[in-house]
Amino acid sequence: MSFLQKGLEQNQLSLSTDLLVKTVELLDGLPGWLTMFGYYYTAKPSNYSDAVNKTLGEALKIVSNETDSIGKLARGWLTHLKLLTELSIGNKSFTELLSVSGQSTNSALSKHLDMLQRLNYIEKRPEDGRYEITDPIMAELLKRKITRQ
């Protein structure tokens, strides 16, 4: 939040604490997305919504291109993508993911989940052991792809 706030101050701009929090949560606090938002917001400082929409639009394009590129190179990516798509709908337990993943064994699913965790796409929540997508941009991209199908 301070990163975004300082960047805006350098351009003699500010946002309310509520909008700062909302923006950081929406963009997962990632400096690259926050910098992009700052660029769009400083281009038209009076329009917060336009800056958010432009940032999300660009971020979704970038993440989409990255996932398409990974899909061409990474072994097992179709299964990873299937798991990520399920998680974009909502957090799931190992058992729930096993039933929708098409994996025939626990160890096969574990390997996919471990890889997604190492790539920082997902995390296992300590409070209930359910898996969730860590990047809200990725989750939004997958939700949009589901909607288009």
Looking at the fold, whether 48 and 95 belong to one and the same domain comes out as no
pTM of the predicted model over 0.85:
no
DSSP 116-145: HHHTTSEEE-TTT--EEES-HHHHHHHHHH
**Beta-bridge mates of residue 131:** 92, 124
The pLDDT tens digits of the residues spanning 3-40 come to 989 988 998 888 999 999 999 988 887 888 999 999 99
106 and 143 share a domain?
yes
**Cα–Cα distance list, 111 to 11, 69, 94, 108 (Å):** 47, 21, 12, 5
Instruction: Say if CB 75 and CB 40 are below 8 A apart.
Output: no
Question: Which single residue is written with the structure tokens 């199908």?
Answer: 149
The pLDDT of residue 14: 87
pLDDT digits (tens, 9 = 90+) for 66-90: 888 877 777 788 888 889 999 999 9
Q: What is the pLDDT of residue 30?
A: 80
Per-residue confidence (pLDDT) for residue 100, from 0 to 100:
85
How many domains would you assign to the chain? 2
Same domain, 99 and 132: yes
